[in-house]
Amino acid sequence: MLRQARTAGSASFIVLALCTGPALGQDAPPIPPADIPDGAAPSDPMSLTPLLPEKIDPAALLKTGKSDMTSSKPTENRPQPGLMLEAKLVDGGPTIPKGVVWRVFSKTPGKDGKLPLVREVEGGAVSLPLKPGDYVVHAAYGRAGGMKPISFTGGDEYETLVLNAGGLKLDALVGKDLAPIPNLVKFDIFPGDGASGEDRSPLVPALRDDQIVRLNAGTYHIVSRYGDANAIARADIVVEAGKLTEVRMFHQAARITLKLVSESGGEALANTSWSVMTPAGETVFDSAGAFPDVVLAIGDYTAIAKHDNQIHERNFKVEPGLNREIEVLAK
């Protein structure tokens, strides 16, 4: 599905969303308990461990792997009764084979008013020895998660958490089909659409291209930054449960290298301070040095160089994908 998305500043973009997997889903589960004890978990349930191993086709997202348990059924030889847990991306889907952080909380608040953490383990399908009682079970899989209240009566009991989650993979191109300069593109993922998304801290900050992040199904606002100046693209996308959604952002920008010279083609002058301004007078870049470079959105700019208490200027234009050097002549 190819959609024309809105523009951000002078940076335009297109979003290409490709989903794989069956169209299964359900209402999103509630958020984790607000009173998860600080520092209770030595492992990070919000890690960006890839949803898929490297060099595996995205369709493998929905293939069943080996469980951490030798059997998902109660066995007569089990030495200690326990609560057996498994998580799935969608109802009816395969068990997530690994990478789930399980937390079990007592449903009775402690003296501090928080739910005490009783058990924590990482894996796929797991079995946890518990005393009979009421609990809240929380499963985190990357940035996706779900919880479920349970009453454990003892013996062997079996519970499944359906996370209603999928995967999101982001990348970017410059112009129509040019690869961006390596390591200069990063993505921020905000919950909700653009109307309210950027008013909050990003759910996933500074994600690099070609990484896969696990998310609960829903709408997200993506901000793609190419460099550290004004080359920014935005889009609202939908992650569907049980699917890997691929989004491609198209930046209309280029990298510009600045140099102050005494004559055309001459050596760059050191000890130079730089500013780049838009026709409206907005400063989008400040730096110092002989060869500063900056990624700029397409448009018209003025480069201002200060050297030996003298000011030198040059107007220039940025075109999509045309990385080039801009000489400012010291007159």
pLDDT of residue 229: 97
d(C-alpha 58, C-alpha 60), whole Å: 5
Evaluate whether 80-163 and 254-329 have a shared fold: yes
331 residues of the chain, pLDDT tens digit each = 333 333 333 333 344 434 433 322 223 333 445 444 333 232 333 332 333 332 223 333 223 233 333 333 433 444 456 899 999 999 999 999 999 999 999 998 888 888 999 999 999 999 999 999 999 999 999 999 999 999 999 888 999 999 999 999 999 999 989 999 999 999 999 998 777 667 788 999 999 988 899 999 999 999 999 999 999 999 999 999 999 999 999 999 999 999 999 999 999 999 999 999 999 999 999 999 999 999 999 999 999 999 999 999 999 999 999 999 999 999 8
pLDDT of residue 192: 87
Structure tokens given for 324 = 């080039």
Evaluated on CA atoms 195, 200, 202, 206, the torsion sign reads positive
Cβ contact 187:224 at 8 Å: yes
CATH fold label, 2-22+166-251: Immunoglobulin-like (2.60.40)
CATH fold label, 254-329: Immunoglobulin-like (2.60.40)
Residues 6+ apart with CB under 8 A from 31: 145, 147
d(C-alpha 116, C-alpha 36), whole Å: 8
pLDDT of residue 81: 64
What would you measure as the largest C-alpha separation in the chain, in angstroms?
91
Which phi and psi (to 5°) does residue 78 adopt? -65, 120
Domain boundaries, the chain: 2-22+166-251, 80-163, 254-329
At the fourth CATH level, which superfamily is domain 80-163?
A: Carboxypeptidase-like, regulatory domain (2.60.40.1120)
The angle at the Cα of 139, spanning 35 to 45, to the nearest 5 degrees, equals 75
pLDDT of residue 51: 37
